[in-house]
Amino acid sequence: MIKVGIVGGTGYTGAELLRLLARHPQARVEVLTSRQEIGKRADALFPHLRGFCDVVYSAPDVATLKSCDAVFFATPHGTAMQMAQELVDAGVKVIDLSADFRLKDTQQFTRWYKHAHSAPALLREAVYGLPEIHRDEIRAARVIGNPGCHATATQLALLPLLAARAVETDTLIADSKTGISGGGRELRLGFMFSEASQTLTAYGVSGHRHQAEIDQELSAVAGATVGVTFVPHLTPMIRGIHVTAYARLLNPELDLQNLFEQHYRGEPFVDVLPAGEYPETRSVKGANICRIAVQKAPNGRTAVVLSVIDNLVKGASGQALQCFNLMFGLPETSGLDAPPLAP
């Protein structure tokens, strides 16, 4: 049994890791940390885990975490980089759900996250944890920078088009909508029910942190610098991300449906819908699945791609577990093969 530690197990992504790992056939949570909930059982804080998870919160301690085979960081940015090197040196695999190991350029990290990176050597080694692009590198990795939720849905929408060199690279648009859980579990005015319900709000229009990783990864796929106009919006739902991406086609006669079906053939967690169907966020609730639909706009020159994920699963904890499975040579679907929830 693979011994797992979770640092920061009191937020939504930490709770989702506990839920997914509770049914993993080859992993067991041995260490669960929190500075505020020391001594409490996880199922006392999250009653939905009662009968599935009885691990007790302890203070974050690197010496204790070294007893694990893998450690997930479900923490704000700036935490994982302080502890990761010592864990890696002890032979522990690190999967970071924050942004500490996503960006290869330390100057870009400082620009977007407003402080210097304290582990630049480990950052250079880290692998960006999007299996649909980096599956082989993830298998050999010691450190994973788990992608952001908006970034995951956006990249999966545009990846086939850029890999095929089928679109202009400087006019891409990604209009993204996210549920409130994407903002975390902290008490904040803008995420209160009476403030966020029955309204739609754009944010980060002049620059959102996920922009940097979108540009980094898609430019590598395209073999050239891409220009993506990315605008996120907050919607009054709990879970889900819906991206509508627009790309100018170089060949209007291109068979988009076939392109996407062929690109994602064999991918366990990407579902290309039949022509004419549209994905819904509720169709992926609780599951590590990205559902995608593609068609041409009426002008015949623009590809319109619809991409939906659960921001807490494929957009966070599920994708982290997918990477964990690859790192330990397990079936990629282990612990992730349950169908979505409905309604």
β-strands 93-96, 143-145: how paired?
Answer: parallel
Which residue, among 169, 152, 171, has the nearest Cα to 222 in the 3D structure? 169
**Cβ–Cβ contacts within 10 Å for residue 341, how many?**
13
Structure-block tokens of residue 142: 């010691």
How many Å is the Cα radius of gyration of the chain? Answer: 19
Strand ranges in the chain using DSSP code E only, listed in sequence order? 2-7, 27-33, 57-58, 70-73, 93-96, 127-128, 143-145, 172-178, 201-202, 228-234, 241-248, 270-272, 290-296, 302-309
Cα 52 to Cα 23: distance, rounded to the nearest angstrom: 8
Burial class (CB in 10 A: 0-12, 13-18, 19+), 197: exposed
Cα 255 to Cα 252: distance, rounded to the nearest angstrom: 9
Active site residue 68: no
**Cβ–Cβ contacts within 10 Å for residue 165, how many?**
12
Cα 315 to Cα 97: distance, rounded to the nearest angstrom: 10
53, 68, 149, 323: the active-site residue: 149
Cα 272 to Cα 232: distance, rounded to the nearest angstrom: 23
Active-site residues, by number, are 149
